[in-house]
Amino acid sequence: MPTPLEQWVEEVARTTRPQRIVWCDGSEQQQQEVVEQMLRDGSTLRLNPQTYPNCLLHRSHPNDVARTENVTFICTREKDDAGPTNNWMSPAEAKQKVGGLFSGAMTGRTMYVVPYILGPVDSPISKVGVEVTDSAYVVASMRIMARVGKAALDRLGRSADFVPGLHSLGDLNPERRYILQFPEEKLIWSIGSGYGGNALLGKKCFALRIASWMAREQGWMAEHMLILGLEDPSGKVTYMAAAFPSACGKTNLAMMISALDSQGYRVWTVGDDIAWMQIGRDGYLHAINPEAGFFGVAPGTGPHTNSNVMAALRRNSIFTNVGLTPASEPWWEGMEIDPPEGLLDWKGERWTPGKGPAAHPNSRYTVPANQAPHISSHWEDPSGVPISAFIFGGRRARVAPLVYESFGWQHGVFVGAMMASETTAAATGAVGVTRRDPMAMLPFCGYNMADYFRHWLEMGKRIPHPPKIFHVNWFRKGADGKFLWPGFVENVRVLKWILERVQGKGKAAETPVGWVPTPDGLTLDGLEVSRSTMEELLRVSPADWTTELEDTKKFFEQFGRRLPPELHEEHSQLAQRFERRTAVLK
Ligand code: SAT
Ligand code: MN
């Protein structure tokens, strides 16, 4: 009797008609064969073997460089279950329309079967997925991003308990590009794109869209969050999970070199993008990182902003859409190396200064997590790490202060639900437009976000020791349009305050939006930021927040009666706190 997996693979092969089928065992030898295939495909080069051993540069199709949210669909029977913030297609229509595109799609190509585990191999929280793909780049990337091969097949055995994901490059025509999630049957179909989040199906499609649905069904959480441990001078490590939209610095925060290292504060990396969390026996929420690698944004990463990342990616890494130097080394803006003579841009064309950036703004590195210099010794603990703080954050030139603490869980959920951020190059579409992005999950929640907020509220009641909830904003700008806060290594100063608040210390002043550090609440020694800049960074401007409240109200309205009333309540309480404050000042 064939196993359920074998049956599915057979069925897929009947539709897509590949020339041959390769089962990926996760071995180094097979990885090298896949690399050879990539080199033959012509869009991949080997980098300098002396300075970047076992590293590749991949150039994707120029029309295929970011997630495409406009063609990403949640396919539930009821439209309302996908909710107003997701694109929706009925499963029947999706199967019919996109099924046709898969027909014969792998003719003449190799079909790779990639079994993988999301999460540590022996963790009860982990889950098995299987991606079938005709892209060698996807196979090589998946081997870095997840635990691929034999271990997954061993864990699965003859069971049908895996999430199947079917992927084909198709003809790479954006008109025939679809990223489909079928959460009711736990199935993923993706065609027409070879780009990261569209094509590495273990990442956003499974670990967030499908997993968020599973998490609600089963009483746990799948979140777009990095996980880090902050060590204090006593040697104790406190774990925090932080949600920021794509390309807002999650990888940099998770891998941060601390400006307060000499005072005994350092950061340990557990994960940089996704957290799966369950309530542990100790009453804390425990988080695992379902991934095994980092898919980080290259531009802006340099020895001063993040030398940890720079050290991590010197071997066994895949670079996508960065520039190339004549010495066969990767190059991007912000690497702190002058563009050398003969630099090629991300399309492989000769770069000249007037030509715009040499690296695509969403160019990426894919690096094994265990190469991070400060990887936590607990990053693969089967039971995960206990989370003491949640941090929400976005890119806001105005409005949100550098950091504030919510008044409690329900208010914290509201803070997450009203999150907003300026869009980035991580997804196609306009860049720099402020949009609401609750919990940084707008593009990744696999169901109606009103139900997602309800799930958050319910989880709060069930967690005996819930994380405290904070909001940060590294991106506030002054009147001159320049960033007020230096960011990067200095962000540890904010983490230290968060840690102190978790410990019941940390000086704070009450404002309508939450607890904000007092002027002497943050450790600022050794930092050149003027008092007036700090005041501006921590300022809560009633005028800005009035607009914010109006915009949030509109955002909430689209959920109609499905929105939990607790959020309306929090909304009017915030408005009232501002009104009271204004009345006092008058
Ligand atoms: O392309 S990914 O979705 O994996 C990265 C991101 O946009 O967060
Ligand atoms: Mn992400």
The pTM assigned to this predicted structure is 0.97
Task: Output the six-digit token pair for 244.
Answer: 């920021």
Q: Which residue has the tokens 């927040």?
A: 545
The pLDDT, as a whole number, for residue 394 is 93
Query: Would you give the DSSP letter of residue 332?
Result: -
Final residue belonging to a domain, choices 194, 219, 244: 219
The pLDDT, as a whole number, for residue 585 is 65
- 293, 369 contact by CB (below 8 A): yes
Q: Is the CB of 204 under 6 A from ligand 1?
A: yes
The pLDDT, as a whole number, for residue 518 is 95
Is residue 562 assigned to a domain? no
Is residue 52 assigned to a domain? no
Is residue 493 assigned to a domain? yes
**Residue 445 annotated in active site:** no
The CATH number that applies at residue 289 is 3.90.228.20
Is residue 275 assigned to a domain? yes
Q: What are phi and psi of 485, to 5 degrees?
A: -105, 135
The pLDDT, as a whole number, for residue 570 is 98
Is residue 354 assigned to a domain? no
Task: Output the six-digit token pair for 7.
Answer: 């049956």
The pLDDT, as a whole number, for residue 519 is 82
- 549, 571 contact by CB (below 8 A): yes
Same domain, yes or no, for 406 and 469? yes
Same domain, yes or no, for 207 and 237? no
Same domain, yes or no, for 198 and 113? yes
What domain range includes position 9?
A: 4-42+67-219
How many angstroms does the Cα of residue 262 sit away from the middle of ligand 1?
A: 34
Q: Is the CB of 196 under 6 A from ligand 1?
A: yes
Is residue 552 assigned to a domain? no
Same domain, yes or no, for 174 and 248? no
Catalytic residue selected from 55, 205, 248, 445: 248
The CATH number that applies at residue 179 is 3.40.449.10
Torsion of CA 515, 240, 494, 307, to 10 degrees: -160
Same domain, yes or no, for 208 and 268? no
Q: Closest ligand 1 atom to the C-alpha of 273?
A: 8
How many angstroms does the Cα of residue 366 sit away from the middle of ligand 2?
A: 13
The pLDDT, as a whole number, for residue 499 is 98
Same domain, yes or no, for 245 and 200? no
The pLDDT, as a whole number, for residue 581 is 82
Which are the contacts of 321, defined by CB distance < 8 A and separation ≥ 6?
58, 59, 60, 65, 346, 359, 360, 362, 363, 364
- 231, 265 contact by CB (below 8 A): yes
Strands 178-182, 72-74: parallel, antiparallel or unpaired by DSSP? parallel
Same domain, yes or no, for 197 and 238? no
Which are the contacts of 477, defined by CB distance < 8 A and separation ≥ 6?
397, 398, 483, 484
Is residue 321 assigned to a domain? no
Same domain, yes or no, for 456 and 468? yes
Query: Would you give the DSSP letter of residue 258?
Result: P
Q: Residue whose CA is closest, atom 8 of ligand 1? A: 246
Give mean pLDDT in consecutive 10-residue pieces for the chain, a chain of 586 residues. Answer: 97 98 97 96 96 98 96 98 98 97 98 98 97 98 98 98 98 97 98 97 98 98 98 98 95 95 97 98 98 97 94 98 98 96 97 95 98 98 98 94 98 98 93 95 98 98 98 96 96 98 97 95 94 95 95 98 98 96 72
Task: Output the six-digit token pair for 37.
Answer: 């295939």
Nearest ligand to the CA of 365 is 1
Q: Which residue has the tokens 């265990």?
A: 370
- 374, 253 contact by CB (below 8 A): no
Q: Count of domains in the chain?
A: 2
Q: Where does residue 151 rank: exposed (0-12), middle (13-18), buried (19+ CB within 10 A)?
A: middle
Same domain, yes or no, for 512 and 394? yes
Q: Is the CB of 246 under 6 A from ligand 1?
A: yes
Is residue 312 assigned to a domain? no
Which are the contacts of 315, defined by CB distance < 8 A and separation ≥ 6?
52, 53, 54, 55, 371
Which are the contacts of 94, defined by CB distance < 8 A and separation ≥ 6?
73, 75, 178, 180, 182, 189
Final residue belonging to a domain, choices 173, 197, 219: 219
The neighbouring-strand residues paired with 127 are 118
How many angstroms does the Cα of residue 574 sit away from the middle of ligand 2?
A: 30
Degrees, nearest 5: CA angle 337-340-343: 115
Residues 114, 96: Cα–Cα separation, whole Å:
25
Q: Which of 135, 46, 70, 36 is nearest to 317 (CA)?
A: 46
Mutate to test the pocket of ligand 1, among 71, 188, 224, 295 (most ligand atoms within 8 A of CB): 295
Final residue belonging to a domain, choices 201, 219, 237: 219
Same domain, yes or no, for 167 and 280? no
Q: Which of 337, 357, 319 is nearest to 141 (CA)?
A: 319
Helix axes 449-462, 211-218, angle to 10 degrees: 40
Q: Is the CB of 67 under 6 A from ligand 1?
A: yes
**Sign of dihedral through CA atoms 543, 544, 545, 548?**
positive
* b/e sequence 248-278, b meaning 16+ C-beta within 10 Å: bbbbbbbbbbbbbeeeebbbbbbbbbbbbbb
Same domain, yes or no, for 289 and 244? yes
How many angstroms does the Cα of residue 245 sit away from the middle of ligand 2?
A: 6
CB atoms within 10 A of CB 347: 14
Q: Which of 494, 450, 451 is nearest to 473 (CA)?
A: 494
Residues 277, 431: Cα–Cα separation, whole Å:
31
Task: Output the six-digit token pair for 90.
Answer: 């009925």
Residues 201, 165: Cα–Cα separation, whole Å:
6
Same domain, yes or no, for 141 and 261? no
